[in-house]
Chain A
Amino acid sequence: MSLLKLTSPHLHKRISTSGVMAQIMLATAPGVVALVWFFGWGVVFNLVLAIFFCLLFESVALALRKRPVLSTLLDGSACVTALLLALAIPPCAEWWLIACGSFFAIVVAKHLYGGLGFNPFNPAMVAYVVLLISFPVEMIQWVKPVTGTQTHLLFSEAFTHAFGGATNLDAFTSATPLDAMKHRGELELSVLVAQHDAFINRVFAGTAWEWINGGFLLGGLFLLYQRIFTWHAPVGMLAAILILSTVFYRGGGVDSSGSPLFHLFSGATMLGAFFIITDPVTSASSNKGRFVYGISIGILIFVIRIWGNYADAVAFSVLLMNFAAPFIDYYTVPRAWGHEKAQVVSVKK
């Protein structure tokens, strides 16, 4: 018998990075189902293509960096990045758009900075912003959500579009509720909601999006229950949006910026709150810090949605606050046991 020389603790909780990633992927299910329900095959193609390209780039990058490929692929982090990217870009996106995004997410935003755990910016959001700025036309072509008697793009049509670009999607696309809101000109909000496609069959926010956001909210609550992350960042962000949109709500008039419910359940709010800003690598690290981080992102999202040039702003807000995370960390260290003040004790050289 040979005895191992190990240091304490000898006991470990049965939890692993890959387990965490698997739960996150599982938790996106309700949102994904809602997306597929309303946008059809295009969402599935996005997912398949993004997962394929992300895993491909991850393998290549790992091989080039001489890191173990298979065991690292199995940690699931590349898969989660792929998933978030696929859900963020318009359904039925062409393959090269997704390939481009995957490259930026995995190679540029992640591996050039040192791989998992070392990237200062959220890879999926970096890719999204790169695509949005480089290919604005492709990135705002959201197919119309299917409601009532309409039908989805056929599998073959979606396939042709994703791989050949032959099908002209114009006939199938329409503005998202946030787009419609942003570009309504002098129209009164109540009139817009009554007339615009983006608001038919809605319950309280915008067609399809209230369900999609509801799905992600459900998944997020599951992750919270599973203690994959703490409540601090999501609650901070949602509270900031809720408060600001309540303060600036002007009913159905011309200058109204939409109801609080509309802002909470439109665009990428819930996806952002529970799946993007909760990315631990790029956020602040203490609970207090994460609360501040969430609030700041919520404020930025609302400010850009209302006064900025873009209809939605989750990606920009997240990237801006990724910058600020170390700064927030510095000022939000918890008070260590038996110390009077919460602070980093500067050491005199």
Chain B
Amino acid sequence: MSRVFDFRGGVHPPENKIQSTTEAIGRIPLARELVLPLNQHIGNSARALVEPGHKVLKGQLIASAQSGLSANIHASTSGVVKSVEERIANHPSGMATLSIVLEPDNKDVWMALQECPDPFALTSAEIIKAIHNAGIAGMGGAGFPTAIKLGGQNLTTLILNAAECEPYITADDMLMREQSEEIVLGALLIANALSIKKILIGIEDNKPEAIAALSRTIGKSDNRGTRVELAVVPTKYPSGGEKQLIKLLTGLEVPAGKLPSTLGIVLQNVATTRAVWRATRFGEPLVSRVTTITGRSLSRQRNVELPLGTPVSHLLNQHGFNAEDNVRVIIGGPMMGYTIDNLSVPVTKTTNCVLAPSKQELSASMNEKSCIRCGMCADVCPVRLLPQQLFWYSKARDHDKAKAYHLLDCIECGACSYVCPSDIPLVQYFRAAKGSIKTEVKEKQKSDRARTRFEARKQRLQAVEAEIAARRAARKSQASRNVSDSVDNVDLEP
């Protein structure tokens, strides 16, 4: 077992993970329609390749990745393309986004998949190509296209993020219990492709079954020259935060504003490495994921493997959703998740949990009171910021000061708001301030560009004028020289 370090701060909210781990990962009947947004990942939207009326098979490419940061999208079941239109996105903004709407034929027929008996025989470029083709994006929540993340240079350590520190969420936990082999094989394959010699699996100690399953798998699998270590970390939120987990496992701090690759580290979520294995070994693109469906307004709480695009409403209805006893539905966990106001939004590549709490389960809206500067927020801040100072400056819109106190390093984990005795929605203030700073920067860039353009134009005009003036002067002097020349000539003529 690997040595474990500690990070300062963090909180211990009630875990609430037991209720969704009593059953094995299940399945639900297909919804009447599946909605596949073209931007389920960070970066540029994919471009739709199908039109209404097209028949598609499960796994068929229906939207292709664009240049830069982007990922492919595949049909998550067989059926007919109903439309390609704007649908409400599964996003905090609640805005509409271009989506492919699929009407399942309920046969769920796969297209012909290209299996590969030994993915370890593939070259690194082939593996990354396969990951890209399968449309895999980080399944822990961020949705960063995996193929691009693996393009980094000089990587030495692969950290498998199995911490799952958010309360309520157990999707990774259940997946590790049931599919530890595919998870580890996926990780080994990535390590192989990047010639990484060390894999650290970071997992919180509240998942004994998953830990047992992983260590059994590591013990018996051929690790192909890669050192695989299980690092069991104490349960503390947010140990699954990228920078926090790196500190826990290696004792190193990722420098501010830099990526983990600066330290030679690349992180992958366990669900992602499993998808990598399925994609390379069986040729399966990413068309489904395991999602936790939990909360006391449901009669049944568990994990289900869902085709991407399943509407949240369908998922809720299949689990005895009592709408009377619910005032909010959260995508993700209670610490960092966001509420949706339209239940028709689809489950996407990053949806690890749908939380439908009862009215009593999570406190309703709160009455913000004066800050008494108690400092509890600073004690729990995992990034060692001073949330109360940031709060003053954010509220006063003093963005320079907020930046001076490292507002932009805030990871919005919510630990400060969680402990605040005055019920101040600190994270909300920070988000708003960050948003304004972003806008300010953009405006500044815009005005800078305008100024540069204006100045360039002025220079250009001046240059033209100068040239004209120079030419005129030259002509003038030429003319006068010609005159004097002719005079001289006259003089010089014998």
Contact = CB atoms under 8 A, between A and B. Distances in A.
A116 B371 CA distance: 8
Contacts of B425: 7
B281 to A, nearest CB: 37
Contact of A16 (B334, B400, B423): B423
B384 A15 contact: no
B104 interface: no
Nearest to A335: B384
Contacts of B371: 117
Interface in B356-407: 357, 362-367, 369-375, 378-379, 382-386, 388-389, 400-401, 403-406
Given A9-B336, A9-B427, A347 B400 contact: yes
Nearest to B322: A1
B120 interface: no
B417 A9 contact: yes
B431 A9 contact: no
Given A10-B330, A345-B406, A336 B256 contact: yes
A234 to B, nearest CB: 14
Contact of A11 (B335, B374, B406, B412): B335
Nearest to A344: B404
A1 B323 contact: yes
A333 B405 contact: yes
Contact of B253 (A118, A285, A338): A338
Interface stretch (B202-210, B301-309, B337-345): B337-345
A346 interface: yes
Contact of A3 (B258, B328, B384, B406): B328
A166 interface: no
Nearest to B363: A12
Among A10, A17, A280, A336, residue most surrounded by chain B Cβ atoms (within 10 Å): A10
B122 interface: no
| Band of interface residues on B | 35 or more
Contact of B329 (A3, A118, A286, A349): A3
A71 B375 CA distance: 23
A4 interface: yes
B374 A20 contact: yes
A334 B427 contact: no
Interface in A15-46: 15-17, 19-20
A13 interface: yes
A336 B11 CA distance: 18
B418 A3 contact: no
A334 B418 contact: no
A331 B334 CA distance: 36
Q: Is the interface of A mostly helix, strand, loop or mixed?
A: loop
A2 B327 contact: yes
B339 A5 contact: yes
Contacts of A336: 256, 383-385, 406, 409
Nearest to B405: A344
A8 B409 contact: no
Interface in B425-464: 425, 427-428, 431
A8 B355 CA distance: 13
B119 interface: no
Contact of A115 (B329, B370, B375, B428): B370
Interface in A279-338: 280-281, 283, 285-287, 290, 329, 333-338
B405 A3 contact: no
A248 B431 CA distance: 53
A206 B225 CA distance: 73
A341 to B, nearest CB: 11
Interface of B: 11, 13-14, 92, 94, 167, 243, 253-258, 323-324, 326-330, 332, 334-343, 357, 362-367, 369-375, 378-379, 382-386, 388-389, 400-401, 403-406, 409, 412, 414, 417-423, 425, 427-428, 431
11 contacts: A7-B338, A7-B339, A9-B418, A11-B167, A17-B369, A117-B422, A280-B374, A285-B375, A286-B378, A339-B256, A349-B400
Of all A-B residue pairs in the complex, the 7 with the closest CB atoms, nearest first, are A9-B414, A338-B256, A117-B370, A11-B334, A347-B400, A337-B383, A336-B406
Given A10-B339, A17-B372, A337-B384, 16 more contacts: A1-B323, A3-B328, A3-B339, A3-B342, A4-B327, A4-B365, A6-B365, A7-B427, A8-B334, A11-B335, A17-B369, A19-B421, A287-B379, A333-B386, A346-B404, A347-B404
